Amino acid sequence: MKKLLLTAGLVGLLGIAQGSPAMAKKYKEIEVTNGGTITGRVLAGDAQPEVEPFLITKDQSVCGEGERPVPWVRINGDALLDAVVYLEKVKEGKPFPEALKTAEIDQKACAFVPYLQAMANGGKLAMINSDPVTHNIHTYEIIGRARRTVINVSQSEQGNVVTKKIRLRKGVAMKVECDVHNFMHSWVFVAKNPYFAIVDDNGNFTIDNVPPGKYVLKVWHGRLGDKEIEVEVPAGGTVEASFSY
């Protein structure tokens, strides 16, 4: 097993965008023979846990009272959580799983569920309001210090569902907020190819069935930004590549 352990430099924050079937035009699905595997961990490094308390000032019968803690940075031991590792600019490879072509965000008890999920670029996102209060779901593409609105939808009725196609232009994720409740936050990683993995509770990741070759491997975190390294995936073999913030 080829092993690559590097600490990559910080590249910056990611982006967000809106969708169409362009996914299928830019990425070609083929049968991969003698594919390789990338495995490793994402470490917290110098990063520290970060939780921001938001005071709940409205709709308290549904949202609760007091403060709502938003966990911007979660760490388990030496592992960084809520990170996504992915290959950049892959032209062709294994098919997208059907499950990635649709996604759901439920607004329940004034929280977005789930906090982090992944979907395919060009897929459909269903936004559900399970609460008997008005929510206004607002998603953004983040480009450096700027951000661009992708979705801005008010949902006043309980049980209301709005479905949109999502296409990213430059970024790799959507920041999700509620314009009515400032303590509601979540993220959607929007994949342009199926070679990605959300880290597990120990910061581990595995990306398999990769066509042999050289790639740029990146890690994304909604609060801490991106890092990248170069990897060479051997035919039928495994390369280890770890990140540290």
Evaluate if residue 2 carries a pLDDT over 90: no
pLDDT at 200: 98
Phi, psi of 89 (to 5 degrees): 55, 50
Alpha carbon separation from 162 to 60, 61, 113, 126, 129 (Å, rounded): 25, 24, 15, 6, 9
- The confidence band for 16, taking pLDDT boundaries of 50, 70 and 90, is very low
Q: What is the pLDDT of residue 144?
A: 67
**Cα 182–Cα 185–Cα 187 angle in degrees, nearest 5:** 155
pLDDT in tens, 199-215: 999 999 999 999 999 99
In this prediction, residue 40 carries a pLDDT of: 98
Q: Which residue's entry shows tokens 């450096």?
A: 144
Average pLDDT over residues 147-161: 96
Number of domains in the chain: 1
pLDDT reported for residue 173: 94
Whole-number mean pLDDT of the chain? 90
91: domain CATH number is 2.60.40.420
Range of the domain at 45: 2-244
Which class for 153: exposed (0-12), middle (13-18), buried (19 or more C-beta within 10 A)?
A: middle
Tell me how far apart the alpha carbons of residues 170 and 161 are, in angstroms, rounded to a whole number. Answer: 27
Residues 6 or more apart in contact with residue 61 via CB below 8 angstroms: none
Q: How far is C-alpha 31 from the chain's CA centre?
A: 26
Peptide bond into 114 cis (omega under 30): yes
pTM for this entry = 0.87
Residue 5 has pLDDT above 60, yes or no: no
CA distance 62 to 111: 10
More confident residue, 89 or 17: 89
